Structure 1
Amino acid sequence: MSTVFLKSIVHGARYFPLWSALAVSQWRSFDVRSRSLGTTFAAVMRWFPPARRSFDREARRVFPNMTRGARAKLGQSMGKHMGRTLFKLYHDAEFQAQHHKFRVSGPGLDALKEAHATGKGAIIVSGHFGQWEAIRAVLRQNGMESGAIISTHKNPHYARRIRAGIEEGGKPILSTGRAGTMALVRHLRSGGIISILLDEKYPEGIRLPFLGLDALTSISAAQLALKYDLPMIPAYGIRIDDENAVQVIFEAPIAHTDSVTMTRAFNDSLSARILANPDQWYWLLKRWDGA
């Protein structure tokens, strides 16, 4: 039996639980299906020891005085949010049609409109926090479109489904790496908007404080903003109203200074959002490993 065939079996087996959870509720309403996947992921965080331990290790770094029971509840709530986030990512076209659920605020949207009107590109920075795809949905409602940068998932089943969902939210979809960077530069120079989730560990990055702890951080978004004189705008989609609506906040563009100062300002912005709603951030990114 070949190694390729064995990997294919393993990938299929790992994808099957999620496929099953999505398939079994497909005849239900959008909101019911979303809650259902959230409930499933909350159960995973409660009953699957590897996920529970990984979350507890990361949360304990930031909340050392929180009781173990409180961290367990926080982990289950995070699982619920991530299940709902993933569902909407997989069904992005349906999600973008939920206009009545978006509450929009912040000066950054006007800055984006101004850049777009003058044919200038822009960089939106956010994190694996809340319903981040709501940011691009609001842009569509305002006559704009944002591409995104993704890292290809090792499991081809996840990779295919995630990419298809993200493409429904806006194009182009660019991969990390040299070719993706060159395409990104062309997109920005032609007046395009790109959304970047800037909270993953970047081994070639520099150590900057994130949630009070040093974390290897990419400064490339700020470097591009400075080089091409583009606005770099933090934006967040935060679930509100018993999680049935999303508050989409476009903060003011980060002042152009230097790439380290600008990236640190974003880290501080995202950290404040997470501390206010810790269950809406995906804690399993291994953000501080190797820092």
Structure 2
Amino acid sequence: MTLKQVRYLLEAVGLRLAIAGLGRLSPEAASNLGGFIGRTLGPHLGISRRARRNLRLAMPELGAAEIERIVRDMWDNLGRTAAEYPHLGRIAGPDSGYTQWVDADPVRALRDGGAAILASAHLANWEIMPVSAACYGIDMTIIVREPNNPLVRPMVERLRGAVGGARTPKGKAGTRVAVEVLGSGRVLGLLFDQKLNEGIPVPLFGVPAMTTTGPAQLAVRFGCPIIPVRIERTGPARFRITAHPPIQPPAGADRRAAVETLTRRLNEILEDWIRARPEQWLWLHNRWPKDAYRA
């Protein structure tokens, strides 16, 4: 057995024990425990330096104390998100009281049929994003990033499945499924805020960031709307979901211009979401190119 296999086995055992233990708690208690662990340990981890660096770049007007508060609260949210996994089914349940809709009309309209893309981001607990379609009986397939550990993968898939909807992994296989889903007039869900080496440079907080054009390309290809879906944490295991007005592909524009316009609009919406609740975004990714930090 290689060291990687040993690590994978230990991770799987640890996750199974965590799921069993957290599952015995109420969703609120599990969330509170995860938040306590996250905000107590997270700010002291080396990767938090990346979050502080990202915050200084994105919002240079922030003082040191405010940056530390955001980093601490980011870890609180991340710990809560992890601890809420065993309770996703209950949180997402009909009339559970854990989710509150602000404006569901753009999503509710999809019950009449037609291709559409629901686009969300790594804010609050992004794993409940499928609730936005499932609670209205809408058949949605969501593109997800699978865990690298093959022993952990089936456990995570089972927990995610409790929220509703079908899932397909990122990558070429996921792209083929996305084309099939939209081509057959169904709904696709995705998170659009991840850093990619490909894509196009589009401003995010005034700094060019390599941004995926996947959602925009699909919308232009199939002539379907993108509906931004915002998730906010309002308390332990409690969330507010807002469906924004559909963004239609620009009429009359050539394909490249239309894709860039849609991609820019998505980044503008993402920035608005983050500015409103910066502690609920995942600041741990290298979202901007190295040159931006040296400027």
TM-score (norm. length: structure 2)? 0.86
User: Partner residue of 2:271?
Assistant: 271
Q: Which residue of 2 aligns with 1:167?
A: 161
* Counterpart check, 1:256 vs 2:253: no
Q: Percent identity?
A: 25
Deviation at 1:66, TM superposition (A): 2.6
| Residue aligning to 2:31 | 34
Q: How far apart are the structure 1 equivalents of 2:169 and 2:86?
A: 18
Match for residue 66 of structure 2? 70
Tell me the equivalent position of 2:83: 87
| Deviation sequence 1:90-139 (CA, Å, 0-9, x none) | 43212212631322123xx333333331x312101111012333432242
Write the mapping of 1:123-138 to structure 2, written as runs, cut at 5 A: 123-138=117-132
CA contact 1:22–1:37 (8 Å) conserved in 2: no
| Deviation for aligned residue 1:37 | 1.2
Q: For residues 60 and 157 of structure 1, what CA distance do their matches in structure 2 show?
A: 38
Determine whether 1:222 maps to 2:219.
no
Shift in Å at residue 191 of structure 1? 2.6
Alignment size in residue pairs: 283
Corresponding residue number in structure 2 for 1:114: 109
Tell me how large the CA RMSD over aligned residues is: 2.3
Question: Which of 197, 203, 209 is 1:203 aligned to?
Answer: 197
Q: Tell me how far apart the structure 2 counterparts of residues 167 and 146 of structure 1 sit (CA, whole Å).
A: 12
Aligned to 2:253: none
**For residues 244 and 152 of structure 1, what CA distance do their matches in structure 2 show?**
23
Verify the 8 A CA contact 1:92 1:166 in the aligned structure 2: yes
Q: 1:55 is matched with which residue?
A: 51
User: Compared with structure 1, are the counterparts of its residues 116 and 229 closer, same or farther at alpha carbon in structure 2 (3 Å cutoff)?
Assistant: farther
Amino acid at match of 1:37: G
Is the contact between residue 48 and residue 284 of structure 2 (CA under 8 Å) also seen in structure 1?
no
Q: Which has the higher helix share?
A: 1
Structure 2 gap segments, 5+ residues each: 251-257
Alpha-carbon distance between aligned partners in 1 of 2:102 and 2:73, rounded to the nearest angstrom = 25
The match for 1:188 among 182, 192, 195 is 182
Change (3 A) 1:134 1:178: closer
**Equivalent in the alignment of 2:5:** 8
Contact 1:44 1:51 in 2 (8 A): no
Aligned to 1:283, the other structure's residue is in SS state coil
Give the letter for the 1:131 counterpart: N
Does 2:136 match 1:139?
no
The Cα of 1:156 is off from its aligned counterpart by 3.0
Compared CA separation, residues 89 and 195, structure 1 to 2 (3 A): farther
SS at match of 1:194: strand
CA shift at 1:261, angstroms?
Answer: 0.6
Asked if structure 2 preserves the Cα contact closer than 8 Å seen for 1:101 and 1:244, the reply is: yes
Shift of 1:285: 2.0
Q: Distance in 2 between matches of 1:42 and 1:53?
A: 15
Displacement of 1:280 in angstroms is 0.5
Give the 3 Å change call, closer, same or farther, for CA 239–158 of structure 1 in structure 2.
Answer: same
- 1:158 is displaced (CA, Å) by 4.2
TM-score for both structures, normalised by structure 1: 0.87
**Shift in Å, 1:248:** 0.6
Q: Is the 8 A contact 1:136 1:170 kept in 2?
A: yes
Inter-CA distance 58–37: structure 2 relative to 1 (3 Å threshold): same
CA–CA separation in structure 1 for the residues paired with 2:133 and 2:70: 31
Q: Which residue of 1 aligns with 2:92?
A: 96
Cα deviation, residue 275, structure 1: 0.4
1: CA distance, partners of 2:44 / 2:13: 18
